[in-house]
Amino acid sequence: MRICALLLATALASPAATYFLTISGLGGEPDYDQRFKMWALDIDSSLKKAGDGNVTTLIAPNREQIRARFQELARTAKPDDALVVMLIGHGTDDGVDYKFNIPGPDITAAELAALLDRVPAARQCVAIMTSSSGGSIALLRRSNRVVITATKTGTEKIATVFARYWAEALREPAADTDKNEAVSVLEAFRYAQRKVTESFDSAKRLATEHSLLEDTGKGDGERNPSPENGEGKLAATFTLVRLGANAGAARDPAKRALLAKKEELEQAIDQLKYEKAGMDTADYRKQLTLLLLELAKTQEALDGPH
């Protein structure tokens, strides 16, 4: 049955481990240095509280320090693992390549793409939360990678606030819109995007940043990823951080397998929604009902004593 294929696909896609790398770059002046560092440490704190990932945070590192960390990741990560890289700071774009501003020579999007490609983790997310970051998408996109940028082009050059709200999404229950005690990459993106818009609206200022998400490996990024435009399928099934009981279950050996099954079922439901348009309505409803029933049974077992 199709439902079995969906469950098998999600089981194979479920990462054995998630590696997180957050990098804050040069601020150029003390206020920005402090701001970028604060946002990076906020992310670091939320990830470590969740407790089930391998978390590294680099504050204003140079090029060689960044390369060294990627070399470690290339040696350590396995194909069934996941990798999340988050860049906070200033960026520039000359129309040919994007650059992330760090002490000494900057890191270009082309170089970052090469470093990411060497890490064998089969599922990757890279969030470039800087000015001019929209210019990096064409070089970074891959079929197994979610690319998020704070700006829609390389010409949006004003310092961005997207990272502030992305950090907030990792510790804010309101970001968990489907109430499954986990924040996916797509949920974090939508939360941060909404908060950025609200911040400009409340200040009565013209928005100078417009975030994008690309996860098909061939698009230019979308403001509103959805089944209709084909963007967001990988991001929707990519758990970024667990909250509440899920965070506790991830640290409990007796519950970890049930949690993995629950997440596989939730991922299968999300994938099914993206395939709905090309399916027979009755078949879609049947498969969705079966998945929801199995999810309810798994949740009941997860909530029970162990």
For the stretch 142-159, pLDDT in tens is 999 999 999 999 999 999
For residue 142, list its beta bridge partners: 145
pLDDT value for 89: 98
**255-265 burial by CB neighbour count: b if 16+ within 10 A, else e?**
beebbbbbbbb
Predicted TM-score of the model (pTM)? 0.84
pLDDT of residue 27: 95
How far apart are alpha carbons 229 and 249 in whole angstroms?
35
CATH class of 17-244: alpha beta
Q: Where are the domains of the chain?
A: 3-7+246-303, 17-244
What percent of the chain is modeled with pLDDT above 70? 89
Judged by average pLDDT, the poorest of 121-135, 200-214, 262-276, 279-293 is 262-276
* Cα 218 off chain centre by: 18
Please give the distance of CA 177 from its chain centroid, rounded to a whole number.
Answer: 15
- The 10s digit of each residue's pLDDT in 5-44 is 444 444 444 447 899 999 999 999 999 999 999 999 999 9
pLDDT confidence of residue 252: 66
pLDDT 10s digits, 170-214: 999 999 998 888 899 999 999 999 999 999 999 999 999 999 999
Give percent helix, percent strand, percent coil of the chain, each to the nearest 5: 50, 20, 35
Sign of CA dihedral 292, 294, 295, 299: positive
Q: What values do phi and psi take at 84, rounded to 5? A: -125, 120
Which residues partner with 55 through β-bridges?
20
Q: What stretches of 127-237 show up as alpha helix (H) in DSSP?
A: 137-140, 162-169, 185-202, 233-236
**Per-residue model confidence as pLDDT tens digits over 73-120:** 999 999 999 999 999 999 999 999 999 999 999 999 999 999 999 999
Position 1 pLDDT exceeds 60: no
Confidence of residue 248 (pLDDT cuts 50, 70, 90): low
